[in-house]
Amino acid sequence: MTITHDIVQKLWNLCNILKDDGVTYHQYVTELTYLLFLKMAKETGTEEQIPEGYRWDDLEQKTAPSRLTHYKFTLVELGVEGSALVREIFSNATSFIKKPATLSSLVSEIDKLDWYSARQEGLGDLYEGLLEKNANEKKSGAG
């Protein structure tokens, strides 16, 4: 099992946390994408694209329930602030997360993953793996 495959599986397991909060399978990848983009900007040293106050560390430092409020505000702000890439990714972004504990669990679990090894194998493979898992779930009729 590759490191990327292991991380994809761990990320997909986070979908159970989202599911318990009423987020559907087709919303999982979108929810994780926003969080992963913020985390990857930190891990790859490209946070300058994201305005201060809306970065991974800012989100991580918040506590529930203000973390969820801050996150939802961040999604809106990044749709109009930051680099062109950031604005495009977060254009009309919204979150379906309802419970502050859900977001706190996701932030904590994403922070625990071995991002150094994932970078070595290629971060694009993570997203591709999530899309593949999502497609397989849709085919099986789950969610």
Query: Domains in the chain, please, with CATH?
Result: 3-140 (1.20.1260.30)
What per-residue confidence (pLDDT) applies to 23? Answer: 93
The chain-wide mean pLDDT, for the chain, equals 84
Both tokens of residue 10?
């761990």
| Segment 46-91, tens digit of pLDDT | 999 999 999 999 999 999 899 999 999 999 999 999 999 999 999 9
What per-residue confidence (pLDDT) applies to 113? Answer: 81
Confidence of residue 108 (pLDDT cuts 50, 70, 90): very high
* Measured CA angle at 36 (ends 44, 141), to 5 deg: 145
Residue 26 clears pLDDT 90, i.e. is over it: no
- How buried is 101 (Cβ within 10 angstroms: 0-12 exposed, 13-18 middle, 19+ buried)? middle
* Measured CA angle at 26 (ends 47, 143), to 5 deg: 135
Which residue type sits at 4? T
Inter-residue contact 86 to 52 (CB < 8 Å): no
